[in-house]
Amino acid sequence: ETAYALMGDCYYQMERHAEAFAAYDSSLVYNPNNVLCLNNYAYFLSLRGERLEKAEQMSYIAIKQEPLNKTYLDTYAWVLYLEENYSMAKFYIDRVVSPLSSDEELLADPTLSPDVIRHAAAIYEANGQEERAGHLRQLALKKEEGREAQETDNKQNEETKE
């Protein structure tokens, strides 16, 4: 089952979406509770705006099995947002990007990618909280800039070693 899930990930990255989704379906035949497969499949469906009801169901199974996994919670919140269920999307994204966290905590959290923070911004905006949404967009940019600077430093360090 893991091989099919990995194939699904590879096919998706190669933009062979139909084959990716077929591989995920095969994986879930063998293990319908494979949380990584369920989450990736749901997220990739959401990126394409396809079969959102199925994506929601799969994502829900993943968060029920791993209720503290920020990646899975983000996927679920994002699918709910795409389905225009904004209040529930906010409920779940708040578990990922806590309103009680400082900017420093959010920037330092390795589980929060700039995309996750942008998801939170879109969800807050849909809930009428434009100020918080704008602030989160700025944080996402800051986090992205920090990652790019880190990658540049890493490349320079590697070149120095040579």
> What's the whole-number mean pLDDT along residues 41-64?
95
Residue 162 above 70 pLDDT? no
pLDDT band at 53 (very low <50, low <70, confident <90, very high): very high
Span 63-92, pLDDT tens digits: 999 999 999 999 999 999 999 999 999 999
* pTM: predicted TM-score of the whole model, two decimal places: 0.85
**DSSP H helical ranges for the chain:** 2-13, 17-30, 35-48, 52-65, 70-82, 86-93, 103-108, 114-126, 130-161
Euclidean distance between the first and the last CA atom of the chain, given in angstroms as a whole number? 41
So what's the pLDDT on residue 1? 60
Flag whether pLDDT at 11 surpasses 90. no
DSSP H helical ranges for 83-128: 86-93, 103-108, 114-126
Q: What whole-number distance in Å separates Cα of residue 40 and Cα of residue 86?
A: 22
Q: What is the mean pLDDT of residues 43-59?
A: 95
Q: What is the pLDDT of residues 99-135, one digit of tens each?
A: 899 999 999 999 899 999 999 999 999 999 999 999 9
Measure the CA–CA gap between 120 and 139, rounded to whole angstroms. 11
Which phi and psi (to 5°) does residue 102 adopt? -75, 165
